[in-house]
Amino acid sequence: MSSVLTVARTESRRIFVSPLAWTVLAALQLVLGFVFWISLLGFAKSQMFGGDENVGVTDYIVSGTLVGFPPIVMLLIMPLLTMRLLADERRSGTITLLLSSPLSLTELVLGKFLGVLSFVAAVIFLLALMAFSLEPATHYMLDTGRIVAGLLGLFLMLSAFAAAGLFVSSLTREPVIAAVLSLVLLLMVWLIQIPANIEGMPLPELWKYLALMSHFESLRRGVFNSADVAYYLLFIALFLWATVQRLDIERS
């Protein structure tokens, strides 16, 4: 376990020393802050003119904007963060040292993955601060359970993005190619539910179940379903296992 944490700390340090991570965080906060402000104005205007009383601040601003909007942005950002995880090691030649070290491949992959999760945790933390900043500023009661479920769903989805990106990074020595392939893979898994809406398409429920977004929607609405959590955990485990197998082939 200590070896995993050592790799994770090293990877986390490498991510946050890079200007890319801070640029991404700043840009993300700028975009989300703007969307957050627009949502606040829209909610205030709707309440002023007698909007739907069943739609509270948690529905309109938190679930609709702070939790619902980031997956679209992070779908484009995560491939940029994961593209160097193993591709850069291969290009610089340090992959040979890693594969010949006493570290097991599982420890190496888990460490790299946890390093990326440190960035994901930073994103979730900033979103949580933004969401709960509404508590003292409004007389509307925030639905804490719904916010936590939505943030959990977002964390699981971004973790799934990271696991898929780590696997793709293990396939090539060019970070840019890894970023493009990661984006293509994530888009395919994101949009795979489209065939479920085509009339006459066999096994529509299967297509819907395989899509990343369909499981996120339930958590975003505050509906905690263990099947949705299990889906993300299995998705993450599958791609981490595939990464280990890919490196094992290279080691042998």
Who wins on pLDDT, 94 or 244? 244
Query: Which pLDDT band holds residue 62 (cuts at 50, 70, 90)?
Result: low
Q: List, as one string, the DSSP characters of the chain.
A: -HHHHHHHHHHHHHHHHSHHHHHHHHHHHHHHHHHHHHHHHHHHHHHHTT--TTS-HIIIIIIIIIITSHHHHHHHHHHHHHTTTTHHHHHHTHHHHHHHSSS-HHHHHHHHHHHHHHHHHHHHHHHHHHHHTTTTT-SSPP-HHHHHHHHHHHHHHHHHHHHHHHHHHTT-S-HHHHHHHHHHHHHHHHHTTGGGGSTT-S-HHHHHHH-HHHHHHHHHTT---HHHHHHHHHHHHHHHHHHHHHHHHHH-
The tens digit of pLDDT for each residue in 158-202 reads 999 999 999 999 888 888 899 999 999 998 888 887 776 676 667
**Mean pLDDT in residue range 217-237:** 85
The tens digit of pLDDT for each residue in 122-170 reads 888 888 888 777 766 555 566 777 788 888 888 999 999 999 999 999 8
The tens digit of pLDDT for each residue in 65-93 reads 666 677 888 888 889 888 888 888 888 87
Who wins on pLDDT, 81 or 250? 81
pLDDT (0 to 100) of residue 137: 58
Lowest-pLDDT choice from 13-27, 129-143, 214-228? 129-143
pLDDT (0 to 100) of residue 252: 67
Who wins on pLDDT, 7 or 133? 7
